[in-house]
């Protein structure tokens, strides 16, 4: 009898963290601030609903969850040991999670298609969707004819790609306030989850498989496939929390401190480049949108030219020359359409450490053209004076890493988190920009109508003659 009571007490005690987390979520969801936030959806312009917001959270959450339950060698994720969540983690892993993400993404796309839009989609969205679709198509064709990848690998690719499509379409129906709320929830979740893993499971969170950072020894990988991806997402958090310093100073201090510390633990130089790029964007934006766009084009050209220079032998690059030479050899084999994500001889995927080379390997020059058009068009819209600077800083900072990293990749859902943030940014900025233009035109027409009415009234008051 006593043993039964003790076991029951221990079982209840193990549920305390889960109950505490659920209670906190309930309190936040039912707070006055949350209720005021929910009340903004019925009046939202463009057809977006609360369901749109929830679907975005679910798709993003699935991508975070995919990285949080990854099996690494003999070490399993600490989430597996948690009551409740651990059971879900054991059920939804690898192929099952990919299938679930594909299903949710299809539902999200169907919901986005039903939303009423006043104007057709911007061609920046079309270009990026074409880039993603071409990458998926080339990879699938290569897998069918050359057996370069397995069904589970293709499932992971389709899951990441479908999430990208769903997020971009859904974000096109939200306004900037709701988009910022999505990004805030995502980044707070990622930071707290990685801080928890860092304390509870350092052997799972750290890795020695990716040497070459600006720190020696193990590098923080966290819930991401490798330290460079983790560092770039944490740098993204620093950029975002810095942008709300006036309205949320306490959250800014806490978020930037935690995210900055995690960036340091990753040892990612690409993350530092992203932060410097965001700072440069803030300075360039004061000059004008054309200056930002010119600088962006210059960064794109630099990313294409750096692998052709002697800089590849620099210590700062640290071994990237090998990947760059392999990438150039693969491009020569199929320069127009590319080799897909899994070229022959690279069963685990190819990693170029350069976005231009990575895109050319996966989707050829056609895919590189689509990606360039989409990024530069979105950057032009984001740098408008009416747009909050954080969205342009995200795009410009990501663009700054293209010469030494390839942050936009659809290898797996956890790799696709940063591309999905870029997709949401593009969906938001081009939709809001078109709304602003439409509203300006509508205001001008209304002003002309009012002027005409006033003139008619004056003529009537003066009478004939």
Give domain status of residue 16, yes or no: no
* Distance from C-alpha of 446 to C-alpha of 331, rounded to nearest angstrom: 55
Give domain status of residue 453, yes or no: no
What is the pLDDT, as a whole number, of residue 314? 61
The whole-number average pLDDT for the span 177-181 is 88
Give domain status of residue 171, yes or no: yes
Name the band, by pLDDT with cuts 50, 70 and 90, for residue 445: very low
Give domain status of residue 413, yes or no: yes
% the chain with pLDDT above 70:
79
**pLDDT for residue 457 is more than 60:** no
Give domain status of residue 451, yes or no: no
What is the pLDDT, as a whole number, of residue 392? 92
- Per-residue pLDDT tens for 83-101? 667 777 777 777 888 899 9
CB within 8 Å of 99: residues ≥ 6 apart: 155, 159
CB within 8 Å of 420: residues ≥ 6 apart: 59, 60, 63, 163, 164, 167
Residues spanned by the domain of 359 = 44-436
Q: Considering its fold, how many domains does the chain have in total?
A: 1
Q: Is-contact 81 210, C-beta < 8 A? A: no
Which residue has better confidence, 131 or 115? 131
Q: Hey, is 206 helix, strand or coil?
A: strand
Write the burial class of residue 409 (CB in 10 Å: 0-12 exposed, 13-18 middle, 19+ buried): buried
Give domain status of residue 28, yes or no: no
The whole-number average pLDDT for the span 19-32 is 63
% the chain with pLDDT above 90:
32
**pLDDT for residue 121 is more than 60:** no
**pLDDT for residue 226 is more than 50:** yes
* Distance from C-alpha of 387 to C-alpha of 407, rounded to nearest angstrom: 24
Give domain status of residue 336, yes or no: yes
Give domain status of residue 462, yes or no: no
**pLDDT for residue 386 is more than 50:** yes
What is the pLDDT, as a whole number, of residue 22? 63
**pLDDT for residue 64 is more than 80:** yes
The whole-number average pLDDT for the span 75-90 is 74
Place of tokens 């549920």: 15
Query: pTM of this prediction?
Result: 0.85
């Amino acid at each position: 009898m006593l043993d039964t009571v003790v076991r029951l007490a221990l079982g209840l005690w193990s549920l305390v963290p889960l109950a505490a987390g659920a209670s906190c979520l309930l309190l936040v969801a039912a707070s006055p601030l949350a209720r005021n936030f929910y009340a903004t959806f019925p009046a939202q312009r463009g057809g977006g609903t609360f369901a749109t917001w929830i679907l975005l959270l679910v798709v993003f959450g699935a991508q975070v969850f995919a990285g949080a339950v990854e099996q690494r060698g003999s070490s399993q994720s600490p989430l597996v040991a948690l009551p409740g969540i651990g059971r879900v983690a054991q059920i939804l892993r690898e192929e099952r999670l990919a299938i679930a993400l594909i299903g949710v993404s299809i539902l999200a796309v169907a919901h986005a298609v039903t939303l009423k839009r006043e104007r057709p989609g911007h061609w920046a969205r079309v270009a990026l969707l074409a880039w993603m679709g071409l990458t998926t198509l080339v990879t699938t064709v290569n897998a069918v004819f050359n057996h370069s990848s397995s069904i589970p690998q293709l499932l992971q690719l389709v899951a990441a790609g479908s999430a990208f499509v769903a997020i971009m379409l859904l974000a096109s129906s939200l306004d900037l306030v709701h988009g910022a709320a999505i990004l805030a929830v995502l980044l707070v979740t990622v930071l707290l989850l990685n801080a928890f893993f860092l304390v509870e499971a350092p052997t799972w969170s750290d890795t020695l498989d990716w040497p070459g950072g600006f720190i020696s020894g193990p590098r923080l990988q966290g819930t991401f496939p490798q330290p460079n991806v983790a560092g770039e997402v944490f740098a993204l958090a620093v950029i975002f929390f810095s942008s709300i310093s006036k309205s949320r100073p306490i959250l800014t201090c806490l978020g930037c401190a935690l995210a900055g510390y995690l960036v340091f633990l990753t040892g990612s130089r690409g993350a530092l480049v992203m932060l410097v790029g965001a700072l440069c964007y803030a300075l360039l934006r004061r000059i004008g949108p054309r200056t930002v766009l010119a600088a962006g084009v210059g960064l794109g050209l630099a990313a294409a030219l750096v692998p052709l220079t002697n800089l590849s032998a620099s210590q700062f690059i640290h071994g990237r020359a090998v990947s760059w030479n392999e990438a150039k050899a693969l491009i020569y084999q199929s320069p127009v359409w590319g080799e897909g994500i899994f070229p022959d001889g690279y069963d685990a995927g190819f990693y170029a450490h350069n976005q231009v080379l990575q895109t050319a390997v996966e989707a050829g020059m056609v895919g590189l053209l689509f990606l360039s058009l989409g990024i530069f068009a979105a950057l032009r819209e984001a740098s408008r004076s009416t747009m909050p600077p954080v969205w342009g800083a995200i795009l410009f900072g990501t663009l700054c890493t293209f010469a030494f990293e390839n942050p936009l990749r659809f290898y797996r859902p956890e790799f696709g988190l940063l591309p999905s943030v870029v997709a949401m940014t593009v969906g938001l900025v081009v939709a809001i920009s078109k709304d602003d233009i439409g509203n300006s035109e509508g205001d001008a027409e209304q002003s002309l109508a009012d002027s005409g009415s006033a003139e008619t009234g004056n003529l009537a008051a003066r009478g004939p003659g």
